[in-house]
Amino acid sequence: MEEVRIGFIGCGGNANGHMNTLSSLEGTRIVSVCDLQEERAESAAERHQAVAYTDHQKMLERNDLDAIYLSLPVFAHGQPELAVIERGLPFLVEKPVAINLEIAQQVAEAVEQADLITCAGYQLRYLGSTQLTKRLLADQTVSMAMGKYWCGTGRGDPNAWIRRMDKSGGQLVEQATHTVDMMRYLMGEVAEVFSLQANRVLRDIDCPDSYTVTLQFESGAIGTLTTYWAFDNGDWSNANVIDILYQDQLINWNPSRLEVKEAGEVVSKTEPGPPIDQVFVDAVRRQDPSQILSPYADAVKSLAISLAANQSAKSGQIVPVG
């Protein structure tokens, strides 16, 4: 396959970012784009010389598609993925992969049966700061990790799907899933969680604005994650930050760098990493998923942690994950 021809289901803000990256990659072409909102599909089609659709089933009838991107509101996942799998196409799907585990597991089973290449949009795994941290911790006994995702996203339009619990699952499911996934990726699987949640500031939405989650990792390590949705809207410096304690040492990770002590001095390090779109397109072109760090089935495990935390907050109990 010389050229990888891509179709999009969902043409919102996130999809546009992927489209821009893809259009800069050699041997990649966006051939069709679909959105329920016709003007969004038409606008993306015009920018990328693609064909616009408002019905993904219709788009999937095209015979020139090599791969699909699904960038949808959380509640809209399920049927579109099953249609893509039925059509036998590899896909990249944005995180979180579904609003509940029933849908996610149904899609995961269909993916496995069809033996398709899949990639979830956990792009932080590919960053240099992440890969350096992963290598540094490979032979270490890690004791504890403390993550946080504090931002002001909760302060936007209260009627938007992202700020409705039944449509997005709230901050922990929709957004801080990145931090949950990074904690899993760097620390290993999570066995059980306990969560407290509150809404102290954003009284016009039904999502909590504050979460604390205590995590028991299968390794024996422990962790905490705090998330906050009513923070200063312009300040992202406390979003996706993790402190990891091992032996007598500390790693402070964020997407742009890690800080670690070397010869008594705290140094700041990173290295280049490939964009997730490059990794996915190369995997499709070579029919080789080995460089994909978050296939669909793996992403379901990150979703399960956030959902278990929401359940724990409701029941007041420690909840096993999965």
Binding site for ligand NAD (CB under 6 A): 9-15, 34-37, 40, 56, 71-74, 76, 80, 94-95, 121, 123, 174
Task: Give me the least distance between CB of 203 and ligand NAD, in Å please.
Answer: 24
Task: Give me the least distance between CB of 18 and ligand NAD, in Å please.
Answer: 9
Write the secondary structure of 65-101 as one string of H (helix), E (strand) and C (coil): CCEEEECCCHHHCCHHHHHHHHCCCCEEECCCCCCCH
Closest CB to ligand NAD among residues 38, 64: 38
Task: Give me the least distance between CB of 13 and ligand NAD, in Å please.
Answer: 4
Closest CB to ligand NAD among residues 32, 312: 32
Task: Give me the least distance between CB of 256 and ligand NAD, in Å please.
Answer: 14
The tokens describing 302, both together, are 């990150």
Report the residue closest to ligand NAD, judged by CB: 12
Closest CB to ligand NAD among residues 177, 197: 177
Task: Give me the least distance between CB of 263 and ligand NAD, in Å please.
Answer: 35
Residue type at position 273: G
CA distance 185 to 124: 10
For the chain, percent helix, then strand, then coil, each to nearest 5? Answer: 40, 25, 35
| Residue showing tokens 């509640």 | 75
Closest CB to ligand NAD among residues 157, 265: 157
Closest CB to ligand NAD among residues 78, 90: 78
Closest CB to ligand NAD among residues 193, 303: 303
Long-range CB contact pairs, 107-113, < 8 A, 24+: 107/77, 107/78, 107/81, 107/82, 107/296, 108/296, 108/297, 108/300, 110/81, 110/82, 110/85, 111/85, 111/296, 111/297, 112/297
Nearest CA-CA partner of 209 in 234, 225, 226, 228? 228
Task: Give me the least distance between CB of 42 and ligand NAD, in Å please.
Answer: 12
CA distance 21 to 5: 14
